[in-house]
């Protein structure tokens, strides 16, 4: 039934390709999986080497029946993987250790543990690439792009409902009559000779040396390049495809004909204030001029905790964790005075706020790095420090 349909289809659409007289292989079709396994055993047992079996689906036991050796592809994967490990190790070691050593946090420039994930990735990558490459080129013989079996009645059946075996004429033991007799004895009712197609002129040509084939490849490449160039560089600049290119806008760092001074980049209007930004009105002014405002932040456990957090981060490196002026900077920055002095204790909160915001002599301004509320919270915490470090005996319980 299927045979009839295929034949009809063939006769209608695929007038068989012309073939030469030179024989490529003798092929036989079988109906049942048991038969083909038996046939494979006999053929390999008879000493044929250049033969292959084609089945519509994988058959268990076929490897043994064909006496196939273990595939060599595993070794190629191993080789690719090992070279990936070694190459990536050398790459990282040379790049970060020799060519461009960069110190992060005092750690050595080259270090094995952080390199391992990269080495692992490259190992997997090279193993996978070498497997895929070897499979295509060595095992499936790319760039050969055709096989004499293609377009034969034999191949049509083994890709649908029959089990096929063929022995190549290149086999040292090849003898047409003997092989036909063997296949018949094994129970095949459909034995055929497969000839080389005419275009092969008797042998499968390497397409790399085939001028016609390579010409077609070059032609396709050329047309693709031209079309890509045309689309990206010409078409997209023509209406209506240019909607992304022509927008009413100015590019940064370019000349502008619109503005008198010729700059396309504009300064914000005088007095512009960023959203959410509250300028400090006493910025840069001496202490004497500041208006005394009370600390707007209520004294709560939360605000004191916040103040401690910010103080430990921003102030303690110079002023010490308790405000005693025991700087941790080992003389790399002038040691500040204690924050527990009578002078600072007498200061109003606004005065300290002014110093944090404005800086004082060598102490830098913190108005960019610490938000307003956080600055006020720091002052609450400073008051806690001052109280705790100057506690009178009467504060201690029981006195
Ligand atoms: C980089 C080091 C450094 C950091 C960080 C620093 N300060 Fe200062 N601070 C100083 C120095 C130095 C002085 C003394 C400046 C001077 O000569 O008037 C000072 C002075 C002060 C004074 C005035 C003390 C006085 O007796 O005049 C206050 C108050 C003060 N700092 C608070 C803070 C607070 C609060 C922080 C955290 C937001 C802070 N400082 C962060 C170095 C620092």
CB 18 within 8 A of CB 29: no
Atom from ligand 1 closest to the CA of residue 347: 29
Q: Residue 327 CA: which ligand 1 atom is closest?
A: 2
* Residue whose pair of structure tokens reads 């004497």 in the numeric block: 288
Token pair listed for 107: 């750690």
In the chain, where the domains are located: 18-209, 289-395
pLDDT in tens, 69-91: 888 889 999 999 999 999 999 99
Q: Whose CA is nearest to atom 22 of ligand 1?
A: 355
Whether residue 346 has its Cβ less than 6 Å from ligand 1: no
One-letter-per-residue 3-state SS of 133-198 = HHHHHHHCCCCCCCCCCCCCHHHHHHCCCCEEEEEECCCCCCCHHHHHHHHHHCCCCEEEEEEEEH
Protein residue whose Cα sits closest to atom 25 of ligand 1: 337
Alpha carbon 362 to its chain centroid, in Å, reads 48
Please choose, from the candidates 216, 171, 220, the residue with its C-alpha nearest in 3D space to the C-alpha of residue 47: 171
Within the chain, residue ranges assigned H as helices are 2-13, 33-45, 62-65, 73-92, 112-134, 153-158, 176-185, 211-233, 301-310, 316-319, 342-346, 349-358, 372-389
pLDDT tens per residue across span 221-233: 999 999 999 999 9
CATH architecture of structural domain 289-395: Orthogonal Bundle (1.10)
Q: Round to whole Å and give the CA distance between 47 and 63.
A: 16
Q: Would you write out the chain's pLDDT as a tens digit for each of its 399 residues?
A: 777 887 777 666 655 667 888 899 999 999 999 999 999 999 999 999 999 999 999 999 999 999 988 888 899 999 999 999 999 999 999 999 999 988 887 788 899 999 999 999 999 999 999 999 999 888 877 776 678 888 888 998 898 899 999 999 999 999 999 999 999 999 999 999 998 877 655 455 667 777 888 899 999 999 999 999 999 999 988 888 888 777 777 888 899 888 899 998 988 898 888 887 777 777 777 766 677 778 888 999 999 999 999 999 999 999 999 998 888 888 888 889 999 998 999 888 888 999 998 888 899 999 888 988 999 999 999 999 998 888 878 877 765
CB of 339 shorter than 6 A to ligand 1: yes
């Amino acid at each position: 039934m299927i045979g009839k349909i295929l034949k009809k289809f063939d006769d209608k659409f695929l007038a068989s390709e012309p073939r030469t007289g030179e024989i490529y292989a003798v092929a036989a079709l079988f109906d049942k999986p048991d038969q083909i396994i038996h046939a494979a055993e006999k053929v390999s047992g008879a000493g044929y080497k250049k033969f292959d079996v084609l089945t519509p689906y994988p058959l268990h036991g076929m490897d043994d029946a064909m006496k196939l050796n273990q595939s060599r592809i595993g070794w190629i994967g191993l080789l690719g993987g090992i070279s990936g490990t070694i190459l990536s190790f050398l790459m990282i070691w040379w790049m970060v250790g020799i060519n461009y050593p960069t110190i992060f946090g005092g750690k050595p420039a080259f270090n094995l543990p952080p390199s391992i994930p990269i080495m692992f990735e490259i190992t997997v990558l090279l193993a996978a690439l070498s497997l895929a490459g070897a499979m295509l080129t060595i095992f499936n013989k790319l760039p050969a792009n055709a096989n004499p079996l293609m377009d034969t009645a034999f191949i049509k059946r083994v890709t649908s409902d029959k089990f096929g075996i063929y022995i190549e004429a290149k086999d040292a033991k090849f003898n047409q009559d003997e092989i036909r007799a063997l296949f018949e004895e094994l129970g095949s009712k459909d034995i055929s000779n497969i000839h080389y197609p005419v275009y092969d002129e008797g042998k499968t040509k390497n397409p790399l040396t085939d001028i016609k084939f390579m010409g077609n490849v070059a032609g396709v490449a050329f047309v693709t390049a031209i079309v890509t160039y045309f689309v990206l560089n010409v078409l997209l600049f023509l209406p209506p495809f240019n909607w992304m290119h022509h927008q009413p806008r100015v590019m940064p760092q370019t000349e502008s004909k619109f503005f008198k001074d010729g700059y396309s980049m504009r300064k914000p209007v005088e007095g512009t204030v960023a959203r959410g930004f509250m300028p400090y009105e006493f910025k840069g002014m001496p202490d004497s001029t500041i208006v005394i405002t009370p600390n707007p932040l209520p004294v709560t456990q939360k605000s004191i905790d916040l103040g401690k957090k910010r103080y430990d981060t921003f102030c303690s490196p110079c002023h010490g964790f308790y405000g005693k002026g025991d700087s941790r900077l080992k003389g790399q920055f002038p040691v500040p005075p204690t924050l527990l002095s009578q002078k600072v204790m007498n200061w109003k909160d606004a005065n300290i706020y002014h110093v944090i915001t404005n800086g004082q002599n060598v102490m830098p301004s913190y108005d960019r790095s610490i938000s307003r509320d956080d600055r006020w919270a720091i002052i609450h915490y400073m008051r806690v420090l001052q109280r705790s470090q100057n506690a009178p005996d009467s504060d201690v319980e029981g006195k």
